[in-house]
Structure 1
C-alpha cells in the first residue's frame, strides 16, 4: 500500500545539530547535523518502508506571515554558521538517496507539508509527517499521522487522534486554538499574557475555541479575564499565525515523490565524501530492507529453480505438462487491470517452472496453452487471478477455472493487512524469498521491464511461492472456519465480478455531453447572479478573493480564519447562508462545478472507445468490513442526494436496443441484521410487522404513540438508529442533530433503556472481542482487533466501537455478496439473457430484455430476500426504467 513520509527538513536538521556532538570531515566541513539527519532517515526507511518521500524546507526568512506580523520569529538567534554550511550538504545527500525535496519562496516547510498531506489525505493515501514541531499535530486525520522527535532525533513519538486526545484532550484542529491562547516563544507568537499550556487547555476544554473563549469572557474573572479582553486581537492573530496554509501551490506530483530505494552507485560516493564510515558499513548489509526489497542479503535465502524459458520449441513440452499443472502466475503492469500490460506467464510444474513471454503466448503455436487458460474445467490457483482474468481478456485471451486465489485468502485471513504482495506473503509464511517488484522493475519514473531471464526467474519465484502458499492458507482457512466463506462466496464472486467488469455499463455519450452543457449553463447563470450580488467580477475559485467579497465588501460575520485570511469552506458557508442570498448561490455553484468536473468530464474520459461503455474495477480485498469498492471509475460515489447528481444516472443505459435497466435495493439491511444478532424484541417487532423503524424507535424512546411522532422526533430516531450501526458517540450524534453533547448522551441512554437487547449485544460482543482478539460476521468473516485490550483509553474505545459495528456492517456486506452469487446461479439456471452490471452498496443493477422484465422484477427481490435466513425478514425494493435514473 502507498505510504508517503513528509519530513520537516528545517526542524529535523536543527534538532540534529544541537543533539549531536561536533563532527567534521577531513576537509574541515561540519557534518554533525547531516549525520544525525541521515541516521534518523535510515531508521525511518527501514521501519516504515515508504513508497513516497518528500523533505520540505523553509525558503528564506520572509514569509506571508511577516506581512501581518513583522515580529514573527523575531526572537530567534541567528543560525550558527556551523549549521548553515550543512544545508547544501543535506540537499546533496537527499539527491544521492533519490529523495525529493522542495521549498517555495514566501512559505514555510509546515505549509508545504500541510498542502501535500491534504492532497494525499483526499486521495486516501497513508501519510506520516516527521517533525519536531507540535504545531503539525493540527494535520492529523484518518490517513495522516504525525511523528514528533524526542531525544534529539533518535526517537520519534507517533500521534494520531487517540494520542492527541490523551495528551491534550483536544481534537487536531484545536491545536491552533491552543497556540492562539498560550503563544509560542520559539516563533515569537505572543498569545495572551499569563496563559500557559495548562490554563489554555482548561479554557479549551470548557469553551472549545479561541473565538468562543473571547465571546464568553463574561463567564471568567480576575486577571485572566482582563488579559483576554485586552489581548483578544493577539489571541486571534496568534491562532492565524499557528494555522498551517494547506491550500498553497506545491509543484510536486505524486510520481516525483516516489522513493525507489537506495542505489549504491549514487548513495555510496556521497557517504564517502561525508566520511560516514559507520553508515557505509550499515548499508552494506541493510540495503535490501531500505529499498523494501528482499534482494541483497536476503538473496542468500532465494533458492535455485529450474526454469524453462520457453521458445516456440518448448511449447509442445509445456502443452504435455499442462494436465498436471495447477499453479499459474500472470504478471501484469498497471493499476487499472482494464488497461494493464501482460508481461508474461509462469506455470509451476513438478520440480520445474515454465516461463512464457507474452508475445509468445499470442503466437499460433501457443494455442494449446491459451485453450487451457480458458478451460473452466482445468482448476487454477495463483495470486490475484481476478486482475489476471481482466488483463488477459482485453488482450483477447480467455481465463477461466480459478480455484484458489492467494490474494483473496490472504485478505480473509488478515483483512486489515492491505493488498499483500507475494514477496510479503512468502516472508510471512517463512517460504524461500521472493524479491519485491520494486527491486526488479524500479518505481514510478524508474520503472523498467528487465531482460527476459531476470523477468522469467522473477515470475517463476512468484509461481513457486503461490504453489507453496496454497496448502498453508487452505489449512488456515479450515482452522478458522472460513472455508465456506472462501470457496462458496469469495471465489465464485471473484469470477462474477470479472464478468460484470468485462461486460461494462453503456453510457450515452451524447446525453452525458448534453448534461455537461446543461450544467455549464446553470453554472454560468449562477456565476452571473453571484457577480451581480457581489457588485463585481472576481475569481470564484479563489478563497482569498471570495473572502474579500463576503467579509470585507458584504460585511458578513467572520466565522473562521486561516493563516492566509478568511475561511470559505463548506461549513462556514452553511453557517453564513441565512445572512445573504449570495451564499446559497455559491454553495450551488460549488456542487455543480464538482459534478461537472468529476462526473461529466471524469466519465467522458473513462468511456472505452471500442465498447462505448465504462468498465469499473471492483476491489474485493480493500475494506476491513468486506464491502466491495469501485475504481476506474468509482460508480459507488455518484451523489444522489442532489437532483443534479441523480441526473448523472440518466446517462447509464442498456447496451441493447429496447432493453431496460432494473435496480433492486435492500431496505435498512444493517438495522435488520442488528435486530437479528441482538435478538432485541422491540427491534424485531418493528420488522416482523413491517413498521417504519424510525417512527417505531421514536415512539418507544420518547414514550408517545406512533401517530404522535413528529418529523423532528423521527429524524432524531433515524440518526441514533444509524449511529448504533456505525459506532455511536455523543459527540457524533450532537453534530448530526445540532444539539449539545449532554442532550445527545441522554438520548443514547434513553435508546439503550428501551432497546435493552441492543445494549446487551454491544456488551457481549466487546467481551468476546477482548477474549478472542477478533469479531465475526454471521458468515464467519473475521476482523482482528489487537487494540481491544490496550491500556490507552482512546485506542481501546475505538477498538470497542469497531467490535460493535463490524459484525453488523460485515454481515450486511456478506449478504449482498451472497445475493450476487445466488442471482448468478438463477440467471444461469433459467437460461436468462439478463445481465448483472453493478453493485452499489446495498443495490444491484441489471440490464434486462423486455420479455424477461416481468420475471426479473419478481426473481431479483425474491433471490435477494432469500439470500440468508434471519429472524426478521429481509426486504428488497425493485424498480425499472429505460436508464439507471428511471430504475430508482
Structure 2
C-alpha cells in the first residue's frame, strides 16, 4: 500500500478559521480564533487520513510573480486584518513546536509551493491529500491527488473532497479546464480580472464546448450569446493574463526533503506549553506527555507529623510574608459555623472540632524553597492546623492566598488582620477583567512565566474529599501550588496594581467586599415554599389558558416552543410581515416578534407565553431546588465575573428576578423575612445618571438634579422645548429612554426600536439632548478618544476596563467598543459606589451590635433582614452609608421601603 502525505495551505486554512469562528482571546489579549480553528482542522484531517508525512506551506509577504503581474495591471491586494495578521507567527510557532515541516519560498505563493510538492509526491508514488480553502487548487486534482476543502462554521467543520472525477462531475470540466473557467469568470478575492460580462455559467459553457480560452477565441464568431462573443474578442488579452494568474506553478524551485516531513508525535512538551498559553484547554487532553517540569515542584514537602508541623509554623512565623491556603471540602463534612481565634483561646475544643470537620490540610510558602503541605490526619487535627494558621497570620507582616472567600467557612479572619491578607485571584481580575475565569495556573503563567498543572490536570473533576482518598500525592501538589503561587506572584501583582493606579481600589473596596459577600452568602434569604408552589400553579393555569387562546387565533394546534413551526404559522399561513428566513426556517427571535406585537394580538400572546414559561422553569421550579433545610436560599456572589466591576450571583441567580411585568414582580412575594423581622429594601435613585452628571461636569444636568425635581420631566421640558408643567407622560417617557440610553451609548437605531419611532426622529431626540447637555456630549466623545489612545477607560475609583474592540478591523466590534468606552466608566463607578455602601452598611450593623443583616444585593439595591425593634436604626444606617458612599457634585439619594415580603418592600 502506497504511503500518504498531507499538504496544507497555511494561510488559506488560517483565513477560513478566522472568519468561521467568533473572536477569541487569551488572558494576554492575543487573538486566537484562527489558530484554534486551524488546529481543529489539522487534528481532524490527521485522524481521518492517518498520513505518513505532513507539510504546511505559507505565503511569504514579499511580492510574488503573480502579485507583480496583477499590480502592474490594476492595484494591490486587500491588506490582511490585524487580528488575523498577529496570529500567523503564532501558528508557525505552534507547528514548529509540534515538529511539523513548514515550507515558504520567496517569490512564490503557498499554492505554487503546494502544486509543486503535490506533483513531486505523486510522481514518487505517494497518495496526496491537499487541504486548502481555495478552490483554485482543484486544478491539481488527479487520481492520486485529492483536494480537501474545509468549511468552518459555528456548528463545526464540513470538508468537501475532490479527485479529478469529482471535479468533472460537479463543475462539468476537467481540473486543467477548471483554470480556463476561472480565468474567464474572474475572481475578485484572488484579484483575477476575468472577462467583463462573463459569469460562471457562461464561462463553464464555453470551456465545455471549446476546451480552452485559446480554442474559444479561435471560434469566437460562433460564440453565443453575442455579448459574450464581443466581450471575449475585446478582452482576449485580459483573459490570457487571467489564465496566467489562475494557473498554479508546479515546477517551483523548492528545496524539500520528504524524509524530514515524516509525521512524528505532534503532542510534545513544547506544544503543550504553547496550547496552555493559548488557553486551548480542551486540546490538552490529547497530550500523553508529562506536564513540563517547573522549578517550584522540587521544593514541595508534605508534612504529616505534628513535630514537623510545629517546626514549620515556627519557621514561618519568622518570615515577613507568607502564602497560604486552607484545603477543605464541605462535601466531606459541612462546617456548622466559623472557627475563630477566640474559640481556641477559650479552650472551646468541642465546638472547634465540629467546625474543623472537612479540613484536609493547610499549605504554607514563605520562601522559594520553603513550600509545605500540612496534611490533616490522625496525628494532626484540622482544628489545630487552623489555630496555628490564625496565630501565624497575627505574626507575619503580609499574607497572600488564592480565592479567600472559599476558605472563610473554616477560617474566620479577625478584622484587625484583614488589611494584611491579599487574594491574588482578585488582583488578577482587576488587572485584566476581560477573562472568563482566573486560575492559579493562569496566574503562574502570566506573572511567573511558569507552566504548572491545573486542578483538572491533577485531580480531574474529583471533589477534594474524594481526591484525598484516591489521589493523595496529587492533592498534596495541588495544595502546595495554592500557597506557592500566591507567595511568589503577590508582590508582582501588587506592583502592577500600583502601576495601574488600582492599589487603593483593591485594598479599600475589593478585599473588604470579599468578607461582606461571604457573610451575605452565609445568611441567605428565607423563601416561603408554599407560596412558591402556589405561584407555580398559578403560572401553569395562565400558560394553559394562553395556549388555548394562541391555538384559537392561529386556527390550529402547533408546538409554540418550536421556532420552525411558529415561523410557518406566522409568516406562511398568516402572512405577517418581517418574515426573515434562515437556514432552519423563519426567525422568531424576540426582536422580530416585538415589531409585530403591537399590530397582532396573537404575537403579543406568544411573547407573554414565552415570559410565563421562563418564569415557571427558572423561578417557580428552579428556585425550589435551592431551598435548604432551614428554608433559606444561599446564592453565591461573584466579584470577578463582569468586566465593569458589577457583582453577579449564581446557583441561583437572584439578581435577575424579573421586574418589568407584574407577574414577574410577584415572584418577590415568596422571599420573606424570618419571624420577628421585616425586609428593608434600599435602592439608589438614578445612580448612573447622577454619576454621569458628576463625571461630565455638565452644568445643566447638575443643575437639574440640584433643583430636586423630576429629572426626566426636566429633560423632556428642555429637549422638547415645552414648559415643565406642560410635559406630557409620553414626552417624559421618551426623555427617560434618552436619559438612560445615553448612559449606555445608545444609537439612533437602538432608541428608535425602544420608542417605536423612526430612526430620524430618534436621531433628533439625541441631538436635542446633546444641545441641552453639551458637557455630556464632550465627556462621552473624550472617553472614546482617550480609550482609543490608552486602550482602556477608568471609573472615578481607578477601576480599569480595557477596550480592545476599538482597534478591531470589524465595524460592529468597533461600534461595540465605543459604547463600552462610554458606558463602562459610568456603570463601573456606580458598581464601585454600591460596593462601598455594602461594606459600610454591613460593618455598621455589626459595630452597633445589631442582629439585622444584609442578605442581598441586586445591582443598585440592598436588601436587609431587619429585626422589628431595630428597624429605625437600620434605616438610619442605610441612609447614612448609602447616600455618603461617595461625594459627588450631585447628592446620592435612595428610595427605601419595608414590608413582610420582598414585593411589599420594593
Q: When the two structures are superposed, what TM-score results if normalisation uses the length of structure 2?
A: 0.65
Question: Residue 642 and residue 787 in structure 1: after superposition, are their counterparts in 2 closer, same or farther (change >3 A)?
Answer: closer
2:441 matches 1:441:
no
Return the alpha-carbon distance in structure 2 between the equivalents of residues 803 and 881 of structure 1. Answer: 39
2:303 matches 1:309:
yes
Question: Residue 43 and residue 278 in structure 1: after superposition, are their counterparts in 2 closer, same or farther (change >3 A)?
Answer: farther
Return the alpha-carbon distance in structure 1 between the equivalents of residues 140 and 570 of structure 2. Answer: 41
- Corresponding residue SS for 2:536: helix
2:876 matches 1:851:
no
Return the alpha-carbon distance in structure 2 between the equivalents of residues 751 and 344 of structure 1. Answer: 61
1:452 aligns with 472
2:281 matches 1:287:
no
2:662 matches 1:666:
no
CA contact 1:8–1:130 (8 Å) conserved in 2 = no
| 331, 337, 348: which one aligns with 2:365 | 348
2:245 aligns with none
1:329 aligns with 325
| 616, 637, 650: which one aligns with 1:596 | 616
Query: By how many angstroms is 1:760 displaced?
Result: 2.3
- Corresponding residue SS for 1:415: coil
1:779 aligns with 797
- Corresponding residue SS for 1:540: coil
1:365 aligns with 381
Return the alpha-carbon distance in structure 1 between the equivalents of residues 303 and 552 of structure 2. Answer: 72
Return the alpha-carbon distance in structure 2 between the equivalents of residues 882 and 44 of structure 1. Answer: 65
- Corresponding residue SS for 2:547: helix
Matches within 5 A, 1:146-157: none
CA contact 1:411–1:418 (8 Å) conserved in 2 = no
2:633 aligns with 614
CA contact 2:376–2:385 (8 Å) conserved in 1 = no
- Corresponding residue SS for 1:280: coil
Query: By how many angstroms is 1:573 displaced?
Result: 3.2
CA contact 1:730–1:742 (8 Å) conserved in 2 = yes
1:727 aligns with 745
5+ residue gaps, structure 1 = 18-22, 50-75, 91-107, 115-128, 134-166, 168-182, 189-273
Matches within 5 A, 1:464-543: 464-543=484-563
Question: Residue 310 and residue 790 in structure 1: after superposition, are their counterparts in 2 closer, same or farther (change >3 A)?
Answer: same
Query: By how many angstroms is 1:368 displaced?
Result: 2.4
Return the alpha-carbon distance in structure 2 between the equivalents of residues 518 and 275 of structure 1. Answer: 72
Question: Residue 529 and residue 803 in structure 1: after superposition, are their counterparts in 2 closer, same or farther (change >3 A)?
Answer: closer
Provide, for residues 62-114 of structure 1, a one-character-per-residue CA deviation record: whole Å limited to 9, x for no partner: xxxxxxxxxxxxxx999987688999xx9xxxxxxxxxxxxxxxxx985xx44
Provide, for residues 834-884 of structure 1, a one-character-per-residue CA deviation record: whole Å limited to 9, x for no partner: 100111010000100110112222321232101111111111010011111
CA contact 1:25–1:31 (8 Å) conserved in 2 = yes
- Corresponding residue SS for 2:863: strand
Larger mean CA deviation between 666-675 and 770-779 belongs to 770-779
Provide, for residues 132-189 of structure 1, a one-character-per-residue CA deviation record: whole Å limited to 9, x for no partner: 99xxxxxxxxxxxxxxxxxxxxxxxxxxxxxxxxx9xxxxxxxxxxxxxxx999xx9x
CA contact 1:330–1:388 (8 Å) conserved in 2 = no
Query: By how many angstroms is 1:571 displaced?
Result: 3.3
1:68 aligns with none
Return the alpha-carbon distance in structure 2 between the equivalents of residues 456 and 671 of structure 1. Answer: 51
Q: When the two structures are superposed, what TM-score results if normalisation uses the length of structure 1?
A: 0.66
Query: By how many angstroms is 1:475 displaced?
Result: 2.8
| 563, 567, 577: which one aligns with 2:583 | 563
2:262 aligns with 277
Larger mean CA deviation between 524-533 and 861-870 belongs to 524-533
1:686 aligns with 704
CA contact 1:5–1:130 (8 Å) conserved in 2 = no
CA contact 1:347–1:353 (8 Å) conserved in 2 = yes
Provide, for residues 590-616 of structure 1, a one-character-per-residue CA deviation record: whole Å limited to 9, x for no partner: 21111000111111112223x322111
- Corresponding residue SS for 1:429: helix
How many residues are aligned here? Answer: 674
Return the alpha-carbon distance in structure 2 between the equivalents of residues 501 and 696 of structure 1. Answer: 41
Return the alpha-carbon distance in structure 2 between the equivalents of residues 743 and 44 of structure 1. Answer: 52
2:900 aligns with 882
1:631 aligns with 650
Larger mean CA deviation between 807-816 and 413-422 belongs to 413-422
Question: Residue 747 and residue 341 in structure 1: after superposition, are their counterparts in 2 closer, same or farther (change >3 A)?
Answer: farther
Return the alpha-carbon distance in structure 1 between the equivalents of residues 443 and 434 of structure 2. Answer: 14
CA contact 1:857–1:879 (8 Å) conserved in 2 = no
Larger mean CA deviation between 684-693 and 584-593 belongs to 584-593
Query: By how many angstroms is 1:515 displaced?
Result: 0.9
- Corresponding residue SS for 2:270: helix
RMSD of aligned residue pairs (Cα, Å): 4.7
CA contact 1:679–1:757 (8 Å) conserved in 2 = yes
Provide, for residues 729-756 of structure 1, a one-character-per-residue CA deviation record: whole Å limited to 9, x for no partner: 2222222223333333333222222211
Question: Residue 722 and residue 455 in structure 1: after superposition, are their counterparts in 2 closer, same or farther (change >3 A)?
Answer: same
Query: By how many angstroms is 1:666 displaced?
Result: 0.3
- Corresponding residue SS for 1:416: coil
- Corresponding residue SS for 1:811: helix
Provide, for residues 1-24 of structure 1, a one-character-per-residue CA deviation record: whole Å limited to 9, x for no partner: 99998999999689989xxxxx99
Return the alpha-carbon distance in structure 2 between the equivalents of residues 485 and 793 of structure 1. Answer: 34
Return the alpha-carbon distance in structure 2 between the equivalents of residues 855 and 613 of structure 1. Answer: 25
Query: By how many angstroms is 1:722 displaced?
Result: 1.4
Provide, for residues 622-672 of structure 1, a one-character-per-residue CA deviation record: whole Å limited to 9, x for no partner: 212111111111111111111111111111111x21210111000100110
Return the alpha-carbon distance in structure 1 between the equivalents of residues 609 and 475 of structure 2. Answer: 52
Provide, for residues 545-599 of structure 1, a one-character-per-residue CA deviation record: whole Å limited to 9, x for no partner: 3344445555555623333434433334334435554333322222111100011
Return the alpha-carbon distance in structure 1 between the equivalents of residues 385 and 519 of structure 2. Answer: 22
Provide, for residues 357-382 of structure 1, a one-character-per-residue CA deviation record: whole Å limited to 9, x for no partner: 4666xx87333222345678577734
Query: By how many angstroms is 1:795 displaced?
Result: 5.2
Return the alpha-carbon distance in structure 1 between the equivalents of residues 779 and 653 of structure 2. Answer: 35
2:856 aligns with 838
Larger mean CA deviation between 493-502 and 584-593 belongs to 584-593
Query: By how many angstroms is 1:439 displaced?
Result: 2.9
- Corresponding residue SS for 1:868: coil
Query: By how many angstroms is 1:811 displaced?
Result: 0.9
Query: By how many angstroms is 1:724 displaced?
Result: 1.7
2:445 matches 1:427:
yes
Return the alpha-carbon distance in structure 2 between the equivalents of residues 858 and 458 of structure 1. Answer: 47
Matches within 5 A, 1:819-838: 819-838=837-856
2:824 matches 1:806:
yes
CA contact 2:692–2:826 (8 Å) conserved in 1 = yes
Return the alpha-carbon distance in structure 2 between the equivalents of residues 605 and 45 of structure 1. Answer: 49
2:432 matches 1:414:
yes
2:834 matches 1:816:
yes
Q: Which has the larger radius of gyration?
A: 2
